[in-house]
Chain A
């Protein structure tokens, strides 16, 4: 392609963009756009609901199904990783294309809603587990923080550093408000258990034996046993890397030719 051809394409594209802008003053065009917006919302809703449910089930499933899996070390690492992998590309797309900082909130909100539906129908109604044993975690607050850092800083890089760190670090305190009760101590046959452990023992899971749980397995045991804050810091650092990486993947996907067609 020579220089003359390139400038011709640019001129043509600029003309198209001016036409697009003019259409925003046209009530009939705006009416049409709103209808298309409705379709986009519907399609995005279906895709994100199914996508996040399948993705989260495959990557963090049991950690979120049972309260006796949500330990202080692995669950606060696994859950934000899983979510940031999914949120990253959508956050980039929605910001770069339409400047909407909503990907984190929408995805965590939909995950919460679909998890409640799944836990109620599949776990409570169909397989008889009590809701007090299988209630989902919430990540909505983390999604809002992620989106708001992008909105306030208007920078993907800064939001990846601050938002990614907050997303990873605050999983435990966000959920502690309704999870603390499950960590109250009980005694069974002379053995110390938390209420969550006891429920995991009493409510039988034939194919999920006790040893499958990964409870605080690692060698990060410094700082006087301060497991929760240490994990939060580590999870925050990893959140920055994971979110940054998947924002970059989102950027690469957005550069594909299919995303650069003119609308009008």
Chain B
């Protein structure tokens, strides 16, 4: 009876474990859902992110390009991106090599600073290093604020056709071609072995003796601190001198050897670079947010805006982007969805006015509604300490030219 009960418990346990495994969602792991909703809405607006190609082999090149705009609604409680920021890439460790990265054409080896309310075009060139399936995210590391993550794109990296080990060769300014995968490891192993050998020899000198801890403790106690040094023998003293001299000689010898082998060296390099930002292409549309509300039950954000078209071409609102989620107006077909792109609500935006005619000033209601609000934990905006929102509004003129500008303001929850 007892055995049967235990078997049942075992089967239940296995089933429970299986359910956990089967029901578990994808692990995205870079925080695209974890950060505060308002923080994602009001820090950096990432758009036009492209990862190409999506299927590669180890050794192949992958290019990540896109644009971002720094929000003028940046939360006051967060350290600003105007101080120090670093363009990074969110992949599981060095599964890729970063060969090149740039923002507005400036190489991004070092950190920089981004003024608010400006546009930046970035590019990162990677070389696949380890086979696997990876969720690749552009990331901005903002000093004292942490990482701001763009949405990810799944990338498949297959094993290389070649059986040769992966190499990463560069040529130094002295003309030597080196492989960074195992550069100078012979020196590292050799010198570590030397020091381990000397260290072990010193320890063994003290440990391989008849009287160690307890007998020595007894003698020290019996002699008292004044006479305790008597248990250090002349042989110990000589050994100490030998090890001391050998150690100093080895340090000096190693230093001179390295100076001879690598006569030209430089200190580690650091510093900040300047990036000239791009102005926001707002076009001829003036947008003023009148009010905004968030319907908890409907999972939708409603904006009432007053728009004025100062241009000579009709303008149609195509998209609202916030927290990396794209809400597209299905009546405007120009918006492009990139291969592998996530977080896109194709029919997510309804606009009360089809087109804003030249010279027209009109009140427009925009409703951004989709299950993505729930999926990406945007419903948490009602719990934020600063209930405001921000996002990018995209629109096209009659020539198919795209413009955008940031909109934002206070947001009120609608509970019923």
Interface residues of A (CB under 8 A from B): 17-18, 20-21, 23-24, 30, 33-34, 36-37, 40-41, 68, 70-72, 96-102, 105-106, 108-109, 112-113, 116, 127-133, 135-136, 138, 140-141, 143-145, 147-149, 151-152, 154, 170, 173-174, 176-199, 201-207, 209-211, 213, 215-216, 227, 262-264
Q: Contacts A108-B199, A209-B141: A130 and B107 contacting too (C-beta < 8 A)?
A: no
Contact B266 A98 (CB under 8 A): no
Q: Are B172 and A149 in contact (CB under 8 A)?
A: no
When the two chains form their complex, are residues B111 and A209 in contact, meaning their CB atoms are under 8 A apart? yes
Contact of A109 with B203 in the complex, beta carbons under 8 Å: yes
Indicate if the CB atoms of B192 and A116 lie closer than 8 Å.
yes
Central interface residue in B237, B250, B251, by most chain A CB within 10 Å: B251
Among A100, A131, A181, A198, contact of B170 (Cβ-Cβ < 8 Å): A198
Contact A130 B180 (CB under 8 A): yes
Binds A, one of B32-40, B87-95, B294-302, B359-367: B87-95
15 A-B contacts, Cβ less than 8 Å apart?
A: A20-B221, A40-B212, A40-B214, A71-B267, A102-B206, A105-B203, A131-B188, A132-B183, A141-B251, A145-B244, A183-B266, A194-B267, A201-B98, A209-B86, A227-B267
**CB atoms of B266 and A97 under 8 A apart:** no
Q: Are A215 and B255 neighbours in the complex by a CB distance under 8 Å?
A: no
A194-B228 Cα distance, complex, nearest whole Å: 52
B184 within 8 A of A: yes
Residues of B within 8 A of A215 (CB): 267-270
Smallest Cβ-Cβ distance to A155: which chain B residue: B229
- Cα A137 to Cα B20 in complex, Å, equals 43
**Chain A residues, CB < 8 A from B248:** 145
B341 in the interface (beta carbon within 8 A)? no
- Expressed in whole angstroms, the Cα–Cα distance for A3 and B100 within the complex equals 81
Question: Which listed segment binds A: B256-264, B305-313, B377-385?
Answer: B256-264
Contact string against A for B residues 200-211, beta-carbon threshold 8 Å, 1 for contact and 0 otherwise: 101100110011
Given contacts A185-B174, A209-B111, contact A263 B88 (CB under 8 A): no
Chain B residue with minimal CB distance to A181? B184
Q: Is the CB of B184 within 8 A of A182?
A: yes
Which of B93, B206, B232 interacts with A127 by CB under 8 Å? B93
Q: Which single residue of chain B is at the shortest CB-CB distance from A35?
A: B214
When chains A and B are docked, how far (Å) is the Cα of A151 from the Cα of B88? 51
B95-123 to A contact mask, C-beta < 8 Å, 1/0? 11111100000010111000000000000
- A149–B93 touching, CB < 8 Å: no
Q: Find the B residue at minimum CB distance from A227.
A: B267
Give complex CA distance A213, B272 in Å: 12
Q: Report which of B88, B168, B173, B259 forms a contact with A206, defined as CB distance below 8 A.
A: B88
- A85 CB to nearest chain B CB (Å): 20
Chain A positions within 8 Å of B259 at CB level: 176, 180
Question: What's the Cα separation between A68 and B94 when bound, in Å?
Answer: 15
The one of A23, A71, A113, A188 that contacts B268, using a Cβ cutoff of 8 Å: A71
Known: A17-B222, A187-B173, A215-B270. A178 touches B184 (CB 8 A): yes
Which A residues are CB-close (under 8 A) to B90? 206
User: Taking each of A143, A177, A195, which has the highest tally of chain B beta carbons within 10 Å of its own beta carbon?
Assistant: A177
How far is A201 from B107 in the complex, measured between Cα atoms in Å? 12
- Which residues of the other chain, B, contact A72 by a CB distance below 8 angstroms? 267-268
CB of B199 within 8 A of CB of A180, answer no
Asked if residues A109 and B220 are in contact (CB atoms below 8 Å), the reply is no
